Structure 1
Amino acid sequence: MKHNFYSFKFLISIVFASLIIGCSTDDELGINPPSIDGAQHLQDTITMGEHLLLSPKLSNSKNSIFEWIVDGEIVSNDSTYIFTPEARGTNQISLEVKNEGGEASLTYDIHTWGAFEHGFYLINEGWFGHGTGTVGFYRYDTQKIEDSVFVKTNPTKDLYPLNSTLGFGTVFNEKLYLVSKSGGPVVVSDAYSLLEEQRIPSQSGNNWRAFLGISETKGLLSSSNGIHKIDLETLAIEGTIPGISGQIGDMTKAGDYIFVLSQREGAIILNASNYEVVKRIPGMAVGFAKTQDNTIWVAGGTKLVKINPSTLEIEEIELGFKANSSWGAWHPASITASANAVFIAKNGSFSGGNEIYRYKDELVSLKEPFIKLPDTEVLYGTGLGFNPDTGQLIVRTVRDGWGENFSYNKLHFYNADSGNLEKTNSYEGYYFPAAPVFH
């Protein structure tokens, strides 16, 4: 019994000592602080109207306090957060996780695109007499075309009358300007939300062509008879530019000058401050493109013409084919430019062609077409546009022929440096494409 008693006391002593050592170890180590797996600074994007679940992977987060902070304001104490943007732009969202052992943090930079910002618009004339023109949108993230986005965004608005055609669109000063022919309206929408803000109402006798923004408060509308001055604050028409009559189409501005295309007179160059005519270049039929150095390009006959934007001196380059106009059933010109190259379509006299040429400093670049479409396809409307977002040449075609052929559409994406076809979207419907419009 004595031996057993002392053995029992010895065992108790060992257990007690072990407990003391164990408590001492816990005190020294303490509670492990929380940690966030992966990068501590992340970036993401979202589009207005969407939601984004932020759910970082956490370790040792039991009994922790969470703080989600958006632009300096605490918005949630949950372990995850659903971000719903209130406006386009960039938000900084931070997560702070704390327990008795320490803390960890994570930061997101979330850029919110406008509802119609992360992509480009597709302006469609519409089927004359059967319905008005429409506005489509190609979205970069889904790589799909969304149809009739103007009327879906503005359900109480329209582009009537039915016999009008939507021939032109452009973005100026964060506004999308939609210009109709044949009695249709001129509509101004926010370029990112597409919500309508102003309009010149439809009216018999209206026959607009294109819009050009001059300043914060001034703009120009070309028409079937002259150029109209517009107050951009009220959208009131303030008369026409004296001395210019007949059908006027495309217009652009570079430096101190405005360049307009006239059916009667070719290219007309105006002083941007007082609209006085300073130069005429007769015979021009296709314009305008503008390269990064502000050089203006126009074509007529078999010549591609380079215009110095400061001195207005011109240089003629032999195209090797006739540059046909689009006055009969007007559409924006089939010419566009990247930073240092000009692209021009070899259109037929009455319909679009299927060859696109590129001029890049050397005449040899015009010897062969840069892009040759399949024989079954032809350009329609302006047919082409350079997308500065992606460095691609966007090409719109319909099936060659008449009647039902106009219902077969293709949207091609060509590499503007190599001419390689990178993607095609095919879709059906009588859209009659006018032009792509980029932000």
Structure 2
Amino acid sequence: MKHNFSFFKYLIVLLFAGVVTGCSQDDEFLIDPPNIAQGEQQLQDTLTMGEELLLSPKFSNTKNSTFEWTVDGEIVGNDSTYVFIPETRGTHEISVQAMNDGGEAALTYNIHSWGAFENGFYLINEGWFGHGTGTVGFYRYDTQQLEDSVYVKTNPNKDFLPMNSTLEFGTVYNEKLYLLSKVGGPVVVANAYSLKEEQRIASQAGNDWRAFLGISATKGLLSSSDGIHNINLETLQIEGKIPGISGQVGDMEKVGDYIFVLSQREGAVIFNATSYEIEKRIPGMVLGFAKTADNNIWVAGDKKLIKINPNNLETEEIELSFSAYGSWGAWHPSSITASDKAVFIAKNSSFSGGKEIYKYEDDVASLEKAFIQLPENEVFYGKGLAYNPDTKQLIIRTVREGWGENFSYNKLHFYNTTSGNLDKTESYEGYYFPAAPVFH
């Protein structure tokens, strides 16, 4: 993510030149428009919570001058410079007024402060089963660096125990990050921007969560190895199960009046979002759900890609040139995603381990050959791919092909969704076992 700092320098010069008032042509201006030399001062339009920014407009003469700084209308200082340390995320208006006998000048900075974990995306890792719990990483746009284990660093007294659980799912809903573990692990709710934990369903035997879906400000759903559970989002208490569906249920999506869920036994099942009555079943579906900008929902199974109209639930079937595999044996979120107009599917083996991505955009011929072929000796792990709406790229996570030590060699790829070209790769080592990226 790039910011046009040179534009802000130019804007500040114009602002100073345009607001010096109160004197005649013959007066000597003791405050002149700022003289900003290249490299002398770097102005920013954004910074992240926890950082500080020195604002130091340059004056040719500050003799007998007084200054007044305000942040969002509140007076905060009277020096010629000001150190801005944001206390809240959001856009802040910072103004300085300089005055002396020759006149006055005013300048306004508009600076956006990101939350500590806002300007980037999360990376959920399931962890090395039996050796340690899952972890949460964060890829930061401004530094273009991957930060490791940010959840436990932010919440040092919290964890995802027990060690035989796997952290497999994450999503952001109503400015909260929901994290779900399988095999006895917890459900954790944190502020999506600060990552400070707010609530949790404690780890206990019998927990075996899959996915979370927000329904309203107070209601949500948790899928599991045995059906779908209602959850009160205010108390984080389980309040019974959704009738009519049992067995392992994974991915879920809500569009308009309908809730779409993926069932191991029944394929895609569509519920009325108000009554929770089943409206339609599409057997054999194992990958879902992707949503394009027109709100159409996409699922896949066997050699079929199916588009579902969310208004009337009518379907359109597109033939795939390969078999779509799900992950019911060792569940992870489905290896399907969508940009505004295109659907992307990882051609996996029976679990993960695939090497190709196919793209569909209104032309069945596009499914005849792979859109992206992974680099040599790499395979998908976990969900494998996700569309990043911030950068308009495909984010792809891989490990080295093979077993044992090969799982410790990780790649984070950034692919162009139009050309299929590889834009960037981050390599890192460790037994993370990738689950899925999560975007704001």
CA contact (8 A) 1:184 1:202 kept: yes
What residue in structure 2 maps to residue 66 of structure 1?
67
What residue in structure 1 maps to residue 343 of structure 2?
342
- Pair 1:36-2:33 in alignment: yes
- Pair 1:238-2:239 in alignment: yes
Deviation track 1:323-382 (CA, whole Å, cap 9, x = no partner) reads: 011001100000000111100000011332010011001111111111100230000000
What residue in structure 1 maps to residue 333 of structure 2?
332
Helix, strand or coil at the partner of 1:107: strand
CA contact (8 A) 2:28 2:102 kept: yes
What residue in structure 1 maps to residue 136 of structure 2?
135
What residue in structure 2 maps to residue 11 of structure 1?
none
CA contact (8 A) 1:123 1:435 kept: yes
What residue in structure 2 maps to residue 197 of structure 1?
198
- Pair 1:273-2:274 in alignment: yes
How many corresponding residue pairs? 411
Aligned partner letter, 1:166:
L
Determine the C-alpha separation between the residues in 1 that align with 2:352 and 2:102. Answer: 75
Deviation of 1:37 (Å): 2.1
Deviation track 1:44-86 (CA, whole Å, cap 9, x = no partner) reads: 1110001001111212322211111111122111111100000
Helix, strand or coil at the partner of 1:418: coil
Deviates more, 1:365-374 or 1:420-429: 365-374
**Which residues of 2 match residues 161-176 of structure 1 at below 5 A?**
161-176=162-177
Deviation track 1:101-120 (CA, whole Å, cap 9, x = no partner) reads: 11111110010000000000
Structure ID, larger Rg: 1
Determine the C-alpha separation between the residues in 2 that align with 1:184 and 1:286. Answer: 24
Aligned partner letter, 1:285:
V
Helix, strand or coil at the partner of 2:45: strand
Identity in percent: 74
- Pair 1:370-2:371 in alignment: yes
Deviation of 1:43 (Å): 6.0
Deviation of 1:157 (Å): 0.8
Determine the C-alpha separation between the residues in 2 that align with 1:33 and 1:107. Answer: 20
CA contact (8 A) 1:320 1:366 kept: yes
What residue in structure 1 maps to residue 438 of structure 2?
437
Deviation track 1:268-321 (CA, whole Å, cap 9, x = no partner) reads: 000000111110000001111000111000000000000000110111101100
**Which residues of 2 match residues 2-401 of structure 1 at below 5 A?**
29-37=26-34, 44-401=45-402
Determine the C-alpha separation between the residues in 2 that align with 1:228 and 1:74. Answer: 51
Deviation of 1:28 (Å): 8.8
Go from structure 1 to structure 2 and tell me whether the alpha carbon gap of 1:28 and 1:293 turns closer, same or farther (over 3 Å shift): closer
Determine the C-alpha separation between the residues in 2 that align with 1:315 and 1:154. Answer: 46
What residue in structure 2 maps to residue 4 of structure 1?
none
Aligned partner letter, 2:261:
V
Determine the C-alpha separation between the residues in 1 that align with 2:313 and 2:351. Answer: 32
Determine the C-alpha separation between the residues in 2 that align with 1:81 and 1:353. Answer: 54
Determine the C-alpha separation between the residues in 1 that align with 2:330 and 2:323. Answer: 18
Aligned partner letter, 2:362:
D
Go from structure 1 to structure 2 and tell me whether the alpha carbon gap of 1:291 and 1:28 turns closer, same or farther (over 3 Å shift): closer
Determine the C-alpha separation between the residues in 1 that align with 2:369 and 2:56. Answer: 54
CA contact (8 A) 2:264 2:286 kept: yes
Aligned partner letter, 1:434:
A
Aligned partner letter, 1:34:
I
What residue in structure 1 maps to residue 12 of structure 2?
none
What residue in structure 1 maps to residue 15 of structure 2?
none
Deviates more, 1:81-90 or 1:69-78: 69-78
CA contact (8 A) 1:48 1:87 kept: yes
**TM-score in terms of structure 2 length:** 0.92
Determine the C-alpha separation between the residues in 2 that align with 1:81 and 1:384. Answer: 44
Aligned partner letter, 1:114:
G
CA contact (8 A) 2:30 2:63 kept: no
Deviation track 1:190-211 (CA, whole Å, cap 9, x = no partner) reads: 0000000000100101100000
CA contact (8 A) 1:36 1:105 kept: no
Aligned partner letter, 2:137:
G
Deviation of 1:431 (Å): 0.2
Helix, strand or coil at the partner of 1:151: helix
RMSD of aligned alpha carbons:
1.3
CA contact (8 A) 1:295 1:309 kept: yes
Aligned partner letter, 1:31:
E
What residue in structure 1 maps to residue 17 of structure 2?
none
Deviation track 1:373-426 (CA, whole Å, cap 9, x = no partner) reads: 023000000001100001010000000000000000000001111111111000
Helix, strand or coil at the partner of 1:222: strand
Helix, strand or coil at the partner of 1:150: helix
CA contact (8 A) 1:35 1:60 kept: yes
Go from structure 1 to structure 2 and tell me whether the alpha carbon gap of 1:199 and 1:28 turns closer, same or farther (over 3 Å shift): closer
Determine the C-alpha separation between the residues in 2 that align with 1:307 and 1:235. Answer: 32
Aligned partner letter, 1:55:
S
Deviation track 1:8-40 (CA, whole Å, cap 9, x = no partner) reads: xxxxxxxxxxxxxxxxxxx9934324123269x
Runs of 4 or more, structure 1, over 3 Å off, are: 27-31
